Amino acid sequence: MTNDQALIELEDGYTSGVYTKRPLVIVRGEGAKLWDAQGRAYIDCVGGHGVVNVGHCHPRVAAAIREQAGRLITCPESFYNDRRAELQAELVRIAPPGLERVFLCNSGAEAVEGAIKFARLATGRPGIVAAKNGFHGRTLGALSATWRPQYRQPFEPLVPGFVHVPYNDEDALEEAIGDDTAAVILEVVQGEGGVTIGDGDYLQGVQRLCQERGALFIIDEVQTGFGRTGRMFACEHHGLEPDLLCLAKAIAGGIPMGAVLLGSRVGKLPSRAHGSTFGGNPLACAAALAAIRVIEEETLPQRAAELGAYFISRLRGLDSPLVREVRGLGLMIAIELKHRAGPYLAALMERGVLALSAGPIVMRFLPPLVISVEDMDAVVERVAEVLPASL
Ligand X SMILES: *Cc1c(COP(=O)(O)O)cnc(C)c1O
Separation between Cα atoms, residue 49 and residue 162, nearest integer Å: 26
Closest separation between CB of residue 187 and ligand X, Å? 5
Of the pair 196, 223, the CB lying nearest ligand X is at 223
The span of 57-65, 134-142, 236-244, 378-386 binding ligand X (CB under 6 A) equals 134-142
Identified binder of ligand X from the candidate list 58, 125, 136, 238, rule CB under 6 A: 136
249 assigned to active site: yes
Closest separation between CB of residue 109 and ligand X, Å? 3
Catalytic residue, chosen from 33, 162, 233, 249, is 249
- Site size with ligand X, rule: CB under 6 A: 14
Interaction of residue 58 with ligand X, rule CB under 6 A: no
The span of 31-39, 62-70, 85-93, 187-195 binding ligand X (CB under 6 A) equals 187-195
Identified binder of ligand X from the candidate list 29, 114, 137, 253, rule CB under 6 A: 137
User: How does DSSP assign 336-373, residue by residue?
Assistant: EESS-SHHHHHHHHHTTEE-EESSTTEEEE---TT--H
Identified binder of ligand X from the candidate list 53, 68, 88, 107, rule CB under 6 A: 107
Contact 68, 282 (CB under 8 A): yes
In terms of phi and psi (left: phi > 0; alpha: psi -120 to 50; beta: otherwise), the region of 82 is: alpha
The span of 31-39, 115-123, 133-141, 227-235 binding ligand X (CB under 6 A) equals 133-141
Type of residue found at 25: V
List all residues 6 or more positions away from 302 whose beta carbon is below 8 Å from its beta carbon.
230
Closest separation between CB of residue 191 and ligand X, Å? 4
Touching ligand X, residues 212-231 (CB under 6 A): 220, 222-223
Identified binder of ligand X from the candidate list 29, 108, 254, 279, rule CB under 6 A: 108
Touching ligand X, residues 109-128 (CB under 6 A): 109, 112
Separation between Cα atoms, residue 215 and residue 340, nearest integer Å: 39
CA dihedral 40, 46, 50, 52 (to 10 degrees): 10
According to DSSP, the residues that pair with 42 across neighbouring strands are 34
Identified binder of ligand X from the candidate list 187, 241, 243, 375, rule CB under 6 A: 187
Type of residue found at 164: H
Of the pair 333, 380, the CB lying nearest ligand X is at 333
Separation between Cα atoms, residue 236 and residue 226, nearest integer Å: 11
| Exposure on the CB side of residue 122, measured as CA atoms within 13 A | 23
Identified binder of ligand X from the candidate list 42, 135, 167, 311, rule CB under 6 A: 135
The span of 20-28, 61-69, 122-130, 132-140 binding ligand X (CB under 6 A) equals 132-140
Helices (H), 261-365: 282-297, 300-316, 342-350
Q: How many CB atoms lie within 10 A of CB 153?
A: 9
Contact 47, 367 (CB under 8 A): yes
Give the residue closest to ligand X by C-beta: 108
Helix (H) or strand (E) holding 79: none
At 105, phi and psi to the nearest 5?
-145, -150
User: Which residue in 215, 225, 158, 152 sits closest to 187, CA to CA?
Assistant: 225
Catalytic residue, chosen from 118, 135, 217, 226, is 135
Catalytic residue, chosen from 103, 162, 220, 226, is 220
Of the pair 217, 375, the CB lying nearest ligand X is at 217
The span of 104-112, 119-127, 303-311, 360-368 binding ligand X (CB under 6 A) equals 104-112
Touching ligand X, residues 230-259 (CB under 6 A): 248
Closest separation between CB of residue 22 and ligand X, Å? 18
Asked if the peptide bond before residue 126 counts as cis, ω within 30 degrees of 0, the response is no
3-state SS, residue 56: strand
Of the pair 107, 320, the CB lying nearest ligand X is at 107
Touching ligand X, residues 155-174 (CB under 6 A): none
Closest separation between CB of residue 268 and ligand X, Å? 25
Catalytically active residues are: 135, 220, 249
- Interface contacts to ligand X, rule CB under 6 A: 107-109, 112, 135-137, 187, 191-192, 220, 222-223, 248
